[in-house]
Structure formats: C-alpha cells, structure tokens
Structure 1
Amino acid sequence: MKKSNLVDIITMGCSKNLVDTEHVMRQLESNGYRVKHDSNNPEGGIVIINTCGFIGDAKEESINTILQFAELKQAKKIDKLIVMGCLSQRYLEELKLELPEVDHFYGKFDFKSIINDLGKAYRPDLELERTLTTPPHYAYVKISEGCDRTCSYCAIPIITGKHQSRPIEEIVDEGKWLVSQGVKEFQLIAQDLSYYGYDLYKKSKLAELTQRLSDIKGVEWIRLHYAYPAHFPFDILPVIHERDNVCNYLDIALQHSSDHMLKLMRRNVTTAETKDLLARIRSEVPGIHLRTTLLVGHPEETEEDVEQLKEFVREQQFERLGVFAYSHEESTYAHKHYKDNIPDEVKQQRVDDIMELQRPISAKHNEKKVGQTFKVIIDREENEYYVGRTEFDSPEVDPEVLISKKHKVKTGHFYPVKITTFDDYDLFGEISNPQQDEQ
C-alpha cells in the first residue's frame, strides 16, 4: 500500500547529483515527509528521480528508470512521479512530450520549486543543511557548479552552464554544520576545481578555501576531486603537503596524452605540459596518490594515439586510473565537427586494453604498502571483514582495506591498520593497536 507522506528518491549519476538529492530530502523532511533514498522497494506516494544526462549509457539508465516508475504510476501504485536533474535540464521539452506520466519536470537548478509545488514551504534557513545519504562520517562538499572549459566531447557546460563558484564563507559554514552532524571527512567536488574562485574573486581560491576548511575543528580528512590540468592552481600543492588533514590525494582528469588527441579534444594543454605538471605535483607533494580518468575512442583517434597513451600510462604509473569510451553527444563540439568513426567494439577494446595495463601497476602500488601501518577509517562491516579506506582512497571509486575481525572496531572511527597482503585493487590488514581508537 502506498503511503502519501512517504517520498522515495532515486539518484542517478555523480556525487554532485547526490548533494542535490540530500538538500531536497532535508527540505521534504522539514515539511513532515518521510523520505527513503534508493530504496530496493519503493512504496511512497511520491517518487522523485534525480537523473543523469552526461553520456549515452547514463541517459539510457535514467530513461529506463523513469519508464519503470511511469508503469507503476499507470498501475496506480504511486501517486506522483517527479523528475529532476541533468537529463531534464538538457531535454526538458522532449521529455514532457514523450513521458506524460511524469507529473513535474525540474532541471538542474530549479529543484527547490519541488517543495512549493507540493504545497509546502521551502525553508531558506535550511539552505546549507542536508540529509546525508552517505555513511555519517563523510560527506561530499560541492564548491561550484558549471564549467567554462570547451572540451570537444563534453556536454556538461551545455547542461550546467558557466562556472559558478560558491562563496568561501558559505562553504565554510556548510563545513561547520557538517562537522556538527558528525562528519569527519570532506570530499571536495566540482566540475572543475582548478577554476574555483575566478568568477567571484578574479583569481584561484582553491588553496584558501581548502585551508579554511582544514581549520575547522573535527575535520580529519579533506580530499580533492576533479582538477583540470590547464591553468592548474599550483598554490594548492603546499596546502596538500603541509596540512595533516588534507589528504595526499588529487583527482585530475587528463583524458589523453598524445598532442594530436589533446588538440582535437580542445584540452588547451600539450603532452609536454602534462608531463611537467605531473612531475611538479609529485615533486612538491612526495607520496601523493594521483587519480586520473582517460577517454578513448574520440573521433580521429588512431592506433598510434592509443599506443602513445599506453606508453604514457606505463611511464606515469598512476596510483588510481579509470578509462571511459567516447560517447557522441549531441550539441557538443565533437558532434558538430567530427564523425563518430570508431566502432563501439574498438572503443571497448581500447578501454579493456588500458585497464589491463593498469592492473599490474595498481598491484605494484599495493604491494609496496605491505608491512606498513596506515590510518584507516572504517566505512562498514561485511560478513568476513571490516571495510575501510586510507587517505589515498576516495569512497566508491578507489581500493578498500579489508580488515580481519580479530578485533572489534567501530564504523566511522579511525584505526591504525597494518597491511598484511594485497590483491590487484584492494589491501588486506589487521588492526595494529586495537586500543587506539583515534576518533
């Protein structure tokens, strides 16, 4: 039986979408609704789907999810179906025509209207508050929206518009509130961390923001996601190196390494500049773990380009690496100017080849950690292990530390863990001092 005061929210796509969902949940709860997130058994009178519209696979998943709940609405198993997020921001008019079962569509930035359209009052005094969907000890902190870059393949600027930094004070106030709720770890996220501050302050402010957040009492770890290599803010490096609670970790999407492809992709950086950047980062922050993302199968990518990329991966020995196949997205520069001339099976083979190349590199990095003791936060308990992470591991995307249950530990707390063995992507360890509960 559906429950009129229960709302089920489903989030598709990235952590930036998740933050939007959490704000909606807080507003709904403040107005008397009970809210469930990503439930395996939705039973609410209202279902809200926060969609992704970035690449083909994500769009298809979002559409299929909408269709699934449209059928439930037709069968009168739910009362209202609401769609928000990137897909409806990008294809609002088309979706309205094709999915009449959906009661309301909201884009990426007008989702606050959901509360008013439900006949409730939006609470501006709760603007910085969220209902966390993550484990309570960590949270994603979105420092900006949009992107001013003009990469050939990317639809994000089409969806989100120009880069808009949030004011430093606002983010710091949000950080203080999160800590008051028990959060110990911040994942700083944006479409482009490197550009943070230019629109508001006329210069990069990522270093200052990170310093201000690291000054908040109770913040144990801050981790930086999605930097851009061109016009990189080098003043962030001493902050990472010198601040104990800023993790020796940087997520910087490089996409490719050959000059031919970097030019076609409109990345505004060269192979030599990329290598110099990586060398400087590693020099100024010894021991830093770099995560990067690569894109293969872009139009006009040759076998020579792919071989150069493979050699780049061998040379750089990234600690963390992901690879995606190109998606020919309408309205992007690549869609307008290039033919999608590489077959899907070739794209996938290139993905598989590079990930296979990365596998022993990842294993080698893990092997070096055997015998060492690391500060580890415990995320959850599974049947055989406690599952945690080091400062070098971001939730969901990076390796984990699987800890024997020889000693009982608490979720959300830090412990010293000695690494005993490894596999290609994960570490195995034991609590080295069960009495030392750091938090």
Structure 2
Amino acid sequence: MRKNKVDVITLGCSKNLVDSEQIMRQFVANGYTVEHDPHKINGEIVVVNTCGFIGDAQEESINMILELGEAKKKGKIGKLFVMGCLSERFMKDLQKELPEVDHFYGKFNWKQLISDLGKSYNKDLSADRVLTTPSHYAYLKIAEGCDRTCSYCAIPISTGHYQSLPMETIEEEVRLLVRQGVKEFQVIAQDLTYYGLDLYKRYALPELVERISDIPGVEWIRLHYGYPAHFPYDLLRVMRERGNVCKYMDIALQHISDNMLKRMRRNITKQETYDLIQRMREEVPGIHLRTTLMVGHPGETEKDFEELVEFVRKIRFERMGAFPYSHEEGTYAYKRYQDEILQEVKEERLDYIMRIQERISSEINTSKIGKTFKAIIDREEDGFYIGRTEFDSPEVDPELLINKANRLTLGEFYNVEVEDAQAFDLYGKVLG
C-alpha cells in the first residue's frame, strides 16, 4: 500500500469522468498523489465512481467493489470509498450488503468525502480538474439531471431534475482548459437540447455554443446526447456558420415505429423523426449523425422491429449503436409492463441490426477514400499515429490510422488524405 496515494476508478459515462477529474483535483490540492484507473491499485485511499444505468453496468460496479474489498482485507489498499450513480440509487442496499466499504457517497455529495478525511474542499478550484484524457481534449459537462420521462430510463432516479450550469460558469471553465492546452471540447449532458430551459426559461444551447465558439483557442466543439423532441433548430445555423463547431450530432432516437415511440414515452412521432433528420442534413451539409437504438422494449412486435430495420437502411446513419432493453427497477416500464421478450430474441435483433449498420459504415467509410480531412492526432502506436476527423468522437467512433512517413506531434492538426477504409477505421497519409 502506497501512503498518501489516491486511486480513482471511473465506471460508466463521460459525465462520471468529469466528476472524477474534479475530485482528483481536490485531492491534489490537499497534497495527495493521484492516479486514475491505474494498472496497479495500491493506494492508501481508493475511490470508485460507479455507474447505475443498466444491469450490466451495475454488475460491473459491484464486482469492482467486491474485488477491492478483498484487496482491502489483505492490506493491499487502505480506505475504500464509493460514489456515483449506483450508490445514489441503491445507497441503503449497498451499505447493508457491502460493509467492507468505508463510506458511500451519492452522485452529488462527493465533496463531503474530502471533508470526511479531515481535508479542505477548495471552492476556488471548483472549475478545475485533473484531466484524464489526452491534454488536447476534454469533456465539458453543461448540465446535470434530466426532466424527460422515457419509460425505460433510470437515470433521472439517480440524477434528479435538470440543472443547467450558468453560461458564465461554463465559459470560465473553457477558458481555464484552453490555458492548459485543451483545443477540443466534447460538450456533454444527459440531454443537451434541454439546456437553459430551467435557468433561462428558453432553449439556450445555440447561444451557449456560440459563446464557447467565440473563445480564442477553441478549435473543435462536438455535441453529445441531444433529444429529438423540441429540438432547438437554431443550433443547425450555428453548426453551419461556425468553423470550430463540428458537423456532428449525437442524438439518441431509440426507435422509429409510432407504437414503440409512444410506449417509450419519447414525445415524438415517426414522421417527426424523419422530418428532423431531413432538416439536419439539408441545413448542415455533410453532417455526421450518431444515434443509439433500443431493441426488445416491452411490446416491440416483429412489425415494429421491421420498421426499425427499414429506418436504419433508409437513413444510413454515419454512426450508430444499439442495445437490448434492460428491465430497470423504478422505471415507468418496470412498473407498467412485463419484460416478456426473451433475452435471446433481444440479442438476435441486436445482432441483426448491427450487421446492417456495419455494412453501411463500411460503405460510408469507403466513400471517403481519396478525400482530405483535417485531423487531430491522439496518440502513437506501433506503425501508426492515431487521429480523428471532426466527425469522430473519442473512444466511440472510427479512428484514422496515419502512416509514419512524417514525424507528427500529438495534439496537433494535420490535413490527411484517406487511402483505405474498413467498417470502423480509416487509413491515411499526411499531406504537405
């Protein structure tokens, strides 16, 4: 066990990652050595930031806690603390079942952890973080919580009502990160498009993006987790007019049949969804759309699934993921419906629709051969530099593998000609 060392382990989404980076900064300010997701966990203090989204994520979090509990019994680590969505949602059960954990904190009261260690929480550092990403990009969380009532989603149970951060607070954080060398911002929230409605009584995401775009040093802004109903269309103008706003939108659509959209409580129809996508592509030529779809929600018939397949084939999303429905305690669907679709049927539908998407992705990537794109270099691996275009978000989208004919600098931009393509990767060379 290393004295005065804190190991922070983050499970789940990038919103959790921002919380971890903030608490790490507070530990550093109090004189600790901090490591994130270390290869060897041996800290005097270990903090697990958990995910409680669906069953698989919950299981991963619990298994990690159990593993660390055993390490604590053997004296390999010191105190064990748990925070995040899982403990926010199941606090009492976890306290009862996992006595090896020294203390549980929820999604929002992790600042108390610092005080409980006899240290001081530094409010002057509230916008500061220890970045766990490469130094040239960062995740920028602009809100907490969610006011949507989707049938399947347990996130509002953990995160509560939507809370937009003030624009001035966000701008201050961006300026701070730019001074630290960050060029690329992944703007995140559970629902980006709702931003501002609680604070300013209007949909304010377009204005916020413009204000971030105006900050010197901001090279790329990429938007994640939009919601299709009541989409703020002025955002498309901003995306079209601003060169540092990536032509990229991550918008979870979940389904297309009117039957399923109604059961899922998505507040949008099939035709409205098609109209939204058409308008996005007309107003922002070249936009790349990322979406997430769900199969196996209670009540999904073969006809519903066939409509979903037709939707995928017709729209040809540049980026698409899918997942099977998970029957989550406390949700509307859990209370209202039986989880009657067999797991094997869910998996078959998932595999089928992802095979279709793989072919579409391969065709879209192949169409890029011979074209030149601005790319940022993330890292260096054996034989290649690994970069991304404006259409590629870290960790979830295709990467651009660049040959080592030239010496490149990590975190810098280059013009890269695509020479070859696979379904989920591009290959290219730097021009000039």
- What's the TM-score once normalised by structure 2's chain length? 1.00
AA at the equivalent of 2:124: D
* Matched residue, 1:336: 335
Mean alpha-carbon deviation: is it higher for 17-26 or for 364-373?
Answer: 364-373
After TM superposition, give the deviation of residue 11 of structure 1 in Å: 0.2
2:75 and 2:363 map into 1 onto residues whose CA distance is 55
AA at the equivalent of 1:356: R
1:123 and 1:131 map into 2 onto residues whose CA distance is 14
2:133 and 2:255 map into 1 onto residues whose CA distance is 32
Per-residue CA deviation, residues 23-69 of structure 1 (Å, 9 max, x unaligned), is 00000000000000001111111110000000000000000000000
- Structure 2 matches for 1:259-338, cutoff 5 A? 259-338=258-337
After TM superposition, give the deviation of residue 4 of structure 1 in Å: 2.0
1:51 and 1:330 map into 2 onto residues whose CA distance is 17
1:40 and 1:350 map into 2 onto residues whose CA distance is 36
After TM superposition, give the deviation of residue 384 of structure 1 in Å: 1.4
1:373 and 1:336 map into 2 onto residues whose CA distance is 52
Give the 3-state SS of the residue equivalent to 1:429 in structure 2: strand
AA at the equivalent of 1:348: E
2:403 and 2:51 map into 1 onto residues whose CA distance is 37
* Matched residue, 2:38: 39
Give the 3-state SS of the residue equivalent to 1:18 in structure 2: helix
2:369 and 2:313 map into 1 onto residues whose CA distance is 22
Contact 2:41-2:77 within 8 A present in 1 as well:
no
Structure 1 ranges of 4+ moved more than 3 A: none
* Matched residue, 1:57: 56
* Matched residue, 2:370: 371
AA at the equivalent of 1:39: P
Give the 3-state SS of the residue equivalent to 2:374 in structure 1: strand
* Matched residue, 2:118: 119
After TM superposition, give the deviation of residue 345 of structure 1 in Å: 1.1
Per-residue CA deviation, residues 373-422 of structure 1 (Å, 9 max, x unaligned), is 11000000000110000000000100000000111101111001000010
* Matched residue, 2:229: 230
Per-residue CA deviation, residues 80-102 of structure 1 (Å, 9 max, x unaligned), is 00000000000000000000000
Per-residue CA deviation, residues 156-197 of structure 1 (Å, 9 max, x unaligned), is 111100100000000000000000000000000000011000
2:34 and 2:424 map into 1 onto residues whose CA distance is 35
AA at the equivalent of 2:55: G
Per-residue CA deviation, residues 268-321 of structure 1 (Å, 9 max, x unaligned), is 000000000000111110100000000111011111111100000000010000
User: In percent, how many aligned pairs have the same letter?
Assistant: 63
2:3 and 2:337 map into 1 onto residues whose CA distance is 50
After TM superposition, give the deviation of residue 114 of structure 1 in Å: 1.0
Alignment of 1:8 onto 2:10 = no
* Matched residue, 2:413: 414
Alignment of 1:347 onto 2:343 = no
AA at the equivalent of 2:305: V
Per-residue CA deviation, residues 199-236 of structure 1 (Å, 9 max, x unaligned), is 00000110000000001101100000000000101110
* Matched residue, 1:129: 128
1:45 and 1:251 map into 2 onto residues whose CA distance is 39
2:276 and 2:77 map into 1 onto residues whose CA distance is 53
Give the 3-state SS of the residue equivalent to 2:35 in structure 1: strand
AA at the equivalent of 2:56: D
Contact 2:81-2:103 within 8 A present in 1 as well:
yes
1:138 and 1:157 map into 2 onto residues whose CA distance is 28
- Structure 2 matches for 1:139-158, cutoff 5 A? 139-158=138-157
1:110 and 1:90 map into 2 onto residues whose CA distance is 13
After TM superposition, give the deviation of residue 360 of structure 1 in Å: 1.2
1:168 and 1:387 map into 2 onto residues whose CA distance is 33
Give the 3-state SS of the residue equivalent to 2:48 in structure 1: strand
After TM superposition, give the deviation of residue 368 of structure 1 in Å: 1.4
AA at the equivalent of 1:328: H
Q: Which runs of 5+ in 1 are unaligned?
A: 434-439
Please, what is the CA RMSD of the aligned residues? 0.5
After TM superposition, give the deviation of residue 250 of structure 1 in Å: 0.2
Give the 3-state SS of the residue equivalent to 1:275 in structure 2: helix
1:200 and 1:166 map into 2 onto residues whose CA distance is 8
Alignment of 1:81 onto 2:64 = no
Matched length:
432
- Structure 2 matches for 1:417-432, cutoff 5 A? 417-432=416-431
Give the 3-state SS of the residue equivalent to 1:310 in structure 2: helix
Give the 3-state SS of the residue equivalent to 1:60 in structure 2: helix
